[in-house]
Amino acid sequence: MGKYQQDVQTLLDKIGGKKNIQAVSHCMTRMRFVLVDPKKADEKAIEAIPSVKGTFTQAGQYQVIIGNDVANFYQEFTKFAGIEGVSKDAVKNAAKTNQNPLQRIMGALGEIFAPIIPALICGGLVLGFRNLIGEVDLLNGGTQSLTDVSQFWAGLYNFLWLIGEAIFHFLPVGITWSITKKMGTTQILGIVLGLTLISPQLLNAFSVATTAPADIPVWDFGFAQVQMIGYQGQVVAAILAGFVLVYLEKFFKKICPEVISMVVVPFCALVPSVLIAHTIVGPIGWKIGDFIANIVNMGLASNFKLIFAALFGLLYAPVVMTGLHHMTNAIDSQLVNTYGGTNLWPMIALSNIAQGSAVLAMSVLQKRNERAQQVIIPACISCYLGVTEPALFGVNLKYGFPLICGMIGSACAAMISIGTGVTAMSIGVGGLPGILSIFPEYWINFLLAMATAIVVPFVLTFIVGRVKLSKEDRIMEPTPAVASDITTPAAVEAPATTIMLKAICDGRTLPLSEVPDDVFSKGIMGEGMAFEPTNDTIYAPADAKVSVVMEDSRHACGLQLADGTELLIHIGVDTVDMKGDGFTLFVHEGDTVKAGDKLISFSPDKIAAAGHPKTTIFIVTEPAGHNKMTFHTGIETKHGETVAAELA
């Protein structure tokens, strides 16, 4: 009889039986199901199972949180159910069948742009700073800029264009690379394809509009001529070309014998892709991109532009919650390429600010609720810096009225922004720093819109909250310790029953509430903290036994201390998708480690390139009788030296 026999039987029954399971896998803490009919899953009954700590649905997957012992639970479940488990990628692919076509398209766009966004943000900041020193007349009575009076600033102004051009003009290279990375094909071929789209031999895309048709160079094949036009800054054309390459490579890999695959496949995939890119999908993509940009620009410049702005400002936050907002990255890039600026991006930044201001009002209303503050404060900061998901899901959606108040404030600010012609030179950082992306001549107008996005949601949320919020919401109630199925590791023992856990890495500690994963941030797995590492290695916080290791993905491990306390260390968020790339294990299940021993090393660059945070989670999954747990957050740490937590 298995350890989880009864729980396994109940889960299979309450999830809708074997016939309702399309695919199943697991990660370090959760069972991941793709269900034929998600409505058949009895969520309340499943969450009542002793081994289950919670459930949620994400990206078409029904996830059941088990804890450190999920591998054993998974083995018993698949054996009892008579189901063969599949890889996480297979589950992810199967989950897409539960999404409608629009959701799949938006999801694909999100995955394509996610690795590129850090570069876009950097480019936006660079161009914003370049604009500040070269285009704003700050000196001599408002008649000269810094570059006019200083050779140093003039040299820096010219130098920074090197970065801005690399990011925004050569954007097709990043897009075609990202597509091949997402689709699992040869990434260097994607890079080469992108380079052929922006080759210096071609007429620069930004010069096409001012070049007479007769002066555009051509490739002359005798029976046909092809214009030698580049696709600098083009988004849709690059996306279409990237997918042509991907599907050609997959086709030739399927039909080509392995012995000659290395020679034949790259040639047969790349050469036709480049030809098709310049003769078919490039021109089509150019037209589609221009059409989308023109439609949006018409809406922003028409007599109904204030209505358009109000609707965009009102609905952008709910759109973010659906994931459909990824499309705006492509639209913004196309607007910048076509018109030299975008009116859309300022409204996105204002929506970030508006939702953050609603959260700020909640912070004032719940100033005596310490537990709420642990979620609200980091969510507010991230919102003001342009990342709204923690605020939307952790605060505003939870209570409802802050979300609506933020939407109203965003709509008001968007109308001011569009009504006064605020234009951004590029996609930059959202939220308050978004002003660096705005052309300087519109700064005053944008500041007025920003003030509206701060004041209106704050006042509305505060007024409504005074009526809506209960006393329990305003004032913290004692929070019981969260226990789980799995025991936690302890570190160096202090007087009698107190255990001192040392820092697992160099870096800075964060409250668990700042982790962008509800399973961890809401304490479902147990109490704990997070680290923002500045090194690339994770170390044991105490003498312990390695209780579990993810051998395939190598991104997490569990430790068990001598007194039965169990710890979970999880490097990054959603890094299970990396399938172990960039991670190195120094331990295996059953090993004994001393405090300070190496556990796992990781590549921060590869984690960033995969579009994941490197935030490392440290959870006490089984307190083993320790009723008081203290986690020292907001401090700088040195592995093996700094005391990060105390269990008493």
Mind listing the pLDDT tens digit for each residue in 87-136? 445 455 555 555 566 556 656 666 676 677 677 667 766 776 777 788 76
> Which CATH homologous superfamily contains domain 492-647?
Glucose Permease (Domain IIA) (2.70.70.10)
- Enter the DSSP assignment of 96: G
3-state helix, strand, coil in the chain (%, to 5): 55, 15, 30
Q: H-type helices in 302-442, by residue range?
A: 305-322, 327-339, 344-365, 370-384, 389-391, 397-399, 401-419
Residue-wise pLDDT tens digits, 204-227: 887 776 788 888 999 999 988 999
Average pLDDT over residues 295-308: 80
Average pLDDT over residues 297-312: 83
Kindly indicate the confidence band of residue 494, based on its pLDDT and cuts at 50, 70 and 90: very low
**Which of 64-68, 131-135, 258-262 is the most confident on average?**
258-262
The CA distances from residue 133 to 120, 145, 438, 633, in Å, are 20, 6, 14, 38
Residues in the chain: 648
Lowest-confidence segment of 124-133, 178-187, 596-605, 624-633 by average pLDDT: 124-133
pLDDT higher at 572 or 380: 572
221's tokens: 């094949």
> What kind and span of H or E run contains 640?
none
334's tokens: 């196309």
pLDDT higher at 623 or 164: 623
Nearest to 623 by CA among 532, 495, 423, 489: 489
Average pLDDT over residues 288-306: 76
The C-alpha atoms of residue 69 and residue 107 are separated, in whole angstroms, by: 31
How do the domains of the chain map onto residue ranges? Answer: 5-99, 170-296, 305-474, 492-647
Question: What was the pLDDT predicted at 522?
Answer: 73
> At residue 482, does pLDDT exceed 50?
no
Average pLDDT over residues 509-538: 85
The C-alpha atoms of residue 522 and residue 619 are separated, in whole angstroms, by: 12
The C-alpha atoms of residue 531 and residue 641 are separated, in whole angstroms, by: 15
pLDDT higher at 189 or 391: 189
Average pLDDT over residues 230-250: 89
The C-alpha atoms of residue 614 and residue 597 are separated, in whole angstroms, by: 20
pLDDT higher at 11 or 84: 11
Kindly indicate the confidence band of residue 408, based on its pLDDT and cuts at 50, 70 and 90: very high
**Order of strands, edge to edge, in the sheet holding 61-65?**
21-26, 30-35, 61-65, 54-58
Q: What is the pTM of this model?
A: 0.53
Nearest to 541 by CA among 604, 586, 598, 481: 598
Lowest-confidence segment of 7-11, 163-167, 305-309, 601-605 by average pLDDT: 163-167
Question: What was the pLDDT predicted at 380?
Answer: 82
Residue-wise pLDDT tens digits, 466-478: 888 776 666 654 4
CB 167 within 8 A of CB 123: yes
Question: What was the pLDDT predicted at 546?
Answer: 92
Q: H-type helices in 366-396, by residue range?
A: 370-384, 389-391
Report, as residue numbers or ranges, the catalytic residues.
27
> At residue 492, does pLDDT exceed 50?
no
The 3-class secondary structure across 428-460, one letter per residue, is: CCCCHHHHHHECHHHHHHHHHHHHHHHHHHHHH
pLDDT higher at 363 or 610: 363
Contacts of 295 (CB under 8 A, 6+ apart): none
Task: Evaluate whether the domain defined by 5-99 bears CATH number 3.30.1360.60.
Answer: yes
Average pLDDT over residues 445-458: 95
The C-alpha atoms of residue 505 and residue 616 are separated, in whole angstroms, by: 9
Residue-wise pLDDT tens digits, 501-519: 999 999 999 888 888 777 7
Average pLDDT over residues 246-252: 93
Kindly indicate the confidence band of residue 491, based on its pLDDT and cuts at 50, 70 and 90: very low
Residue-wise pLDDT tens digits, 426-439: 766 677 887 878 88
> At residue 640, does pLDDT exceed 80?
yes
